[in-house]
Amino acid sequence: MAQRVALHTRLKPGKEAEYERVHAVIPPELDTALREAGVHSWRIWRDGRDLFHVVEVEDYGAMRNALRDHAANIPWQARMAELLEVEDDYSGNDSGISLVWELP
């Protein structure tokens, strides 16, 4: 059974349009790496500088650990560090945003 994990990140001021341009098409090797790491889908919404992600993945911690040192992910994370306020260590120790309520 796949996990659904919500995440929140924040853009550096003035990076909104650049972030959207960069995400218009992700590198094919990153797409492959994400899928091989068990990601079924990854959606991102933006409200101003705030980004909200919903990731459907087999095992979130395992995915993060698998991608941490992956050759396709390293340059992508370096690029994201230019756009996001907080750098991500890709430790896999986080569990995302806590779910408060869901319509059954």
pLDDT at residue 92 greater than cutoff 80:
no
> Which is nearest to 39 in space by CA: 78, 66, 10, 71?
66
pLDDT for 90:
61
Q: List Cα–Cα distances, 64 to 1, 73, 84, in angstroms.
A: 17, 10, 18
Q: Total structural domains in the chain? A: 1
What's 26's domain CATH number? Answer: 3.30.70.100
Confidence of residue 72 (pLDDT cuts 50, 70, 90): very high
Residue 10 lies in a domain: yes
pTM: 0.90
pLDDT in tens, 11-60: 999 999 999 999 999 999 999 999 999 999 999 999 999 999 999 999 99
Residue 102 lies in a domain: no
Sign for the CA dihedral angle at 78, 83, 85, 88 comes to negative
pLDDT for 93:
74
Confidence of residue 86 (pLDDT cuts 50, 70, 90): confident
Structural domain boundaries, residue 35 = 3-83
Q: What is the mean pLDDT of the chain?
A: 93
